[in-house]
């Protein structure tokens, strides 16, 4: 097999984040995350969903209404789930592949956990206060952020 027949590490790990997102029951935004060590070992994965033991068929998935009628008060984001799913001590020096740019709350967890690089897919909320705060904190903490650049083969999943 020639070298160009292989997918890159970025393609591989973003593919896992994309695949993980498929576990989310969020009808409007499915997000996945994959945390990787400096030597390209998968440490943890996560997707956006309700907290453990909170039935996601009972809690709301709506985007509008009163605070307690929407998903925003309840959903645990993919990045936070991946961090909480990790069973080691810290994630120092690791990379986070995530399908959507992290919000300000997830940025705090990313910084506190020791993650040093965020590779993100979409940034559909760019310009919002949450994303601007996130960018500001990540930059201040020295966490490198870059958009995932699809180079080479297209990754497709078929089940």
Pairing of strands 117-122, 144-147: parallel
Q: CB-based contacts of 71: which residues, under 8 Å, 6+ apart?
A: 26, 59, 60, 61, 62, 63
Choosing from 4, 38, 69, 79, the catalytic residue is: 79
Is 69 catalytic? The answer is no
Q: What is the dihedral angle through the alpha carbons of 51, 53, 58, 64, rounded to the nearest 10 degrees?
A: -10
Largest CA distance in the chain: 56
β partners of residue 120: 98, 147
3-state secondary structure of 89: coil
End-to-end Cα separation, the chain, in angstroms: 24
The DSSP output letter for 98 is E
Active site amino acids: 79
């Amino acid at each position: 097999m020639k070298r160009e027949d292989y997918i890159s590490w970025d393609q591989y790990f973003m593919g896992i984040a994309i695949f993980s997102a498929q576990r989310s029951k969020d009808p409007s935004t499915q997000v996945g995350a994959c945390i990787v060590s400096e030597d390209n070992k998968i440490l943890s994965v996560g997707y956006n969903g309700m907290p453990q033991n909170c039935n996601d068929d009972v809690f709301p998935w709506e985007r509008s209404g009163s605070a307690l009628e929407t998903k925003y008060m309840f959903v645990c984001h993919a990045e936070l789930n991946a961090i909480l799913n990790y069973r080691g001590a810290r994630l120092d020096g690791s990379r986070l592949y995530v399908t959507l740019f992290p919000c300000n709350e997830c940025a705090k967890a990313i910084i506190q956990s020791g993650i040093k690089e965020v590779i993100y897919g979409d940034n559909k909320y760019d310009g919002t206060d949450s994303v601007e705060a996130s960018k500001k904190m990540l930059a201040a903490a020295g966490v490198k952020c870059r958009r995932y650049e699809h180079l080479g083969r297209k990754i497709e999943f078929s089940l």
